[in-house]
């Protein structure tokens, strides 16, 4: 399992695998003290993800949003008895795969002794949500914030002005050293992205 190790400190270990045709990042956030873990986005390659879940003590899945490429492994994960959470606004997108609980804005999700703070970030989808691990620089942004700009807003229920507000008001308030772990691609930091907000607004995507 060591090859999946992505980030760690004294309290938390983050594992990352890249799955499916859209090269989705799937992260596992694990509490060192208790061994409890949560998986962020059951995207694809369910057999690989189930192996990861079993090996790392995953008890729940947190979906950053309901787009097809982020939920392919949900049925197999739920069948294995692992709870899947999604925001109520994006729950209709999981109609065919199912879900178990709603994730609310500002909700604190317990993973062992870790506390994940849910941040509603509409724009890419109405119910997109990011997760900050309290006491760490870790911020999982799904498809809301990437290196070089916001997520795609060309969908019917997406909106560019909304995602910009969402990023500016809810994510760019974090310290510059905050590590952004997006739904696709490589990590970045709040400090690296924040200065470019005006450019993104000017170009319109």
For 7, the token pair is: 């980030």
Report the SS3 class of residue 82: coil
Please report, for the domain that includes residue 82, its CATH number.
3.60.15.10
Across the chain, which distance is largest between two alpha carbons, in Å?
47
| Whole-angstrom distance, CA of residue 63 vs CA of residue 40 | 6
pLDDT at 199 > cutoff 70: yes
- How many distinct structural domains can be found in the chain? 1
Q: Per residue in 3-31, pLDDT tens? A: 899 999 999 999 999 999 999 999 999 99
Say what the pLDDT of residue 37 is: 98
pLDDT at 55 > cutoff 50: yes
Q: How many residues make up the chain in this entry?
A: 205
Nearest to 192 by CA among 152, 149, 162, 161: 149
Q: Per residue in 115-164, pLDDT tens? A: 999 999 999 999 999 999 999 999 999 999 999 999 999 999 999 999 99
Residue range(s) defining the domain that contains residue 186: 2-203
Q: Per residue in 59-104, pLDDT tens? A: 999 999 999 999 999 999 999 999 999 999 999 999 999 999 999 9
Strand 188-189 vs strand 179-182: parallel, antiparallel, or unpaired?
antiparallel
Q: Per residue in 169-195, pLDDT tens? A: 999 999 999 999 999 999 999 999 999
pLDDT band at 1 (very low <50, low <70, confident <90, very high): very low
| Whole-angstrom distance, CA of residue 205 vs CA of residue 201 | 7
- What pTM does this model have? 0.98
Say what the pLDDT of residue 3 is: 84
């Amino acid at each position: 399992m060591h090859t999946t190790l992505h980030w760690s400190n004294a309290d938390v270990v983050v594992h990352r695998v890249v799955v499916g045709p859209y090269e989705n990042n799937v992260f596992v956030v694990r509490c060192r003290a208790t061994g409890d873990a949560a998986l962020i986005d059951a995207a694809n390659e369910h057999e690989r993800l189930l192996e990861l879940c079993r090996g790392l003590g995953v008890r729940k899945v947190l979906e950053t949003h309901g787009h097809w490429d982020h939920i392919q492994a949900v049925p197999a994960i739920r069948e294995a008895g692992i709870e899947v959470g999604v925001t109520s606004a994006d729950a209709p997108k999981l109609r065919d795969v199912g879900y178990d609980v709603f994730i609310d804005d500002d909700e604190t999700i317990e993973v062992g002794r870790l506390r994940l703070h849910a941040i509603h970030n509409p724009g890419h989808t109405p119910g997109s949500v990011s997760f900050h691990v309290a006491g760490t620089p870790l911020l999982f942004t799904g498809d809301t914030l990437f290196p070089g700009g916001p997520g795609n807003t060309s969908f019917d229920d997406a909106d560019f002005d909304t995602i910009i507000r969402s990023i500016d008001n809810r994510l760019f308030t974090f310290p510059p050293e905050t590590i952004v772990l997006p739904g696709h691609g490589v990590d970045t930091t709040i400090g690296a992205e924040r200065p470019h907000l005006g450019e993104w607004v000017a170009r319109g995507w």
